[in-house]
């Protein structure tokens, strides 16, 4: 599906002018890089000799990083603990130009840390340190208060749900009607267990595994895909559903419309970690820049094609995105 050059120029020139509110589960991603040269004598497991450590923003913080990389202003709203990980995460946010001012500290929960051991460019194991119980009423009240204070000055909302306890049914019951009242675009990167709580939003972006699971219908072919997409669109009463399909690209279902398919543009795939964060960030950024839903899907597909070619969570910059759009989709017409 081509886009005219003037539309690409129009959309990309407007990206970077909006504030995007990201509400979701914030994580700290820790990477331990090394090499394997022997097997442990204690157990039949590889011994990884660590030679490099790295900290990155994860979860909804990675969504915010993607928003910042595109030039927009991310307003990151979420919960962290009162621990060393929270300090490190706050420092990382500041380095990325993301304000930590909207974060809520909760002394009763740990900041989520995901530690990945990478050996010879392959992930060997992941260790998670986290609390996943739902936030209490007082914390939820503080979160909603900050959401209300921001809503009038933002160009879109992203709900980034990793099932770590922030995105509760009661919080969604307050946030989604407020966004519809204010005519604010809402994109949701969903968690399967909460899926049918995201009713009447602008777009939901599950991958094909998540979509098939919640629909109770495994997606094996295009016919399955169509059935699942249409069913979810109807049950959620959403404006659109964007199902990401890995190496097969994406499929967009629009309320009152048809289905559009977008083949992948990835040249190589090293790691899909955080690709969903890039998809939702690029999609909402494109809409905030004046793109329609089909154009936004093309933009997010291009953005995802860039980040899966890198190891770990990554973010696409606006120049990279613009180049990819013109290389793959421009039809040369002004």
Annotated active-site positions, please? 277
The span from the CA of 72 to the CA of 18, in Å, is: 5
Beta bridge partners of 116: 31, 126
- Which residues are CB-contacts of 37 (< 8 A; sequence separation ≥ 6)? 47, 49
- Closest by alpha carbon to 27, among 118, 122, 131, 172? 131
The span from the CA of 151 to the CA of 111, in Å, is: 26
Sheet holding 122-129, edge to edge: 46-59, 26-39, 112-119, 122-129
The span from the CA of 301 to the CA of 246, in Å, is: 10
The span from the CA of 112 to the CA of 25, in Å, is: 9
């Amino acid at each position: 599906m081509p886009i005219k050059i003037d539309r690409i120029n129009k959309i990309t020139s407007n990206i970077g002018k909006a504030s995007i509110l990201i509400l979701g589960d914030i994580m700290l991603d820790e990477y331990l890089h090394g090499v394997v040269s022997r097997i442990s004598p204690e157990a039949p497991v590889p011994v990884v000799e660590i030679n490099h450590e790295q900290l990155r923003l994860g979860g909804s913080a990675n969504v915010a990083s993607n928003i910042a990389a595109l030039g927009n202003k991310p307003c990151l709203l979420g919960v962290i603990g009162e621990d060393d990980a929270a300090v490190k995460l706050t420092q990382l946010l500041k380095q990325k130009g993301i304000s930590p001012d909207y974060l809520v500290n909760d002394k009763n929960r740990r900041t989520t840390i995901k530690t990945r051991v990478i050996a010879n460019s392959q992930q060997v194991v992941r260790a998670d340190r986290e609390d996943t119980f739902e936030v209490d009423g007082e914390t939820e009240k503080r979160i909603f208060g900050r959401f209300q204070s921001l809503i009038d000055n933002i160009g879109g909302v992203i709900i980034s749900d990793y099932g770590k306890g922030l995105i509760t049914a009661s919080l969604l019951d307050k946030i989604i009607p407020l966004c519809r009242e204010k005519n604010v675009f809402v994109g949701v990167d969903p968690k399967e267990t909460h899926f049918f709580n995201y009713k009447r939003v602008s777009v939901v972006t599950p991958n094909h595994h998540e979509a098939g699971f919640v629909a109770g219908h495994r997606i094996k072919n295009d016919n399955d895909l169509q059935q699942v997409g249409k069913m979810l669109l109807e049950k959620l009463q959403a404006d659109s559903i964007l199902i990401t399909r890995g190496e097969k690209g994406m499929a967009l279902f629009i309320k009152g419309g048809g289905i559009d398919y977008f083949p992948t543009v990835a040249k190589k795939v090293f790691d899909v970690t955080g690709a969903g964060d890039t998809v939702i960030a690029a999609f909402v950024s494109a809409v905030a820049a004046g793109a329609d839903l089909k154009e936004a899907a093309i933009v997010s597909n291009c953005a995802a094609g860039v980040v899966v070619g890198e190891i770990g969570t990554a973010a696409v910059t606006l120049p990279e995105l613009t180049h990819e759009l013109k290389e793959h989709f421009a039809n040369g017409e002004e």
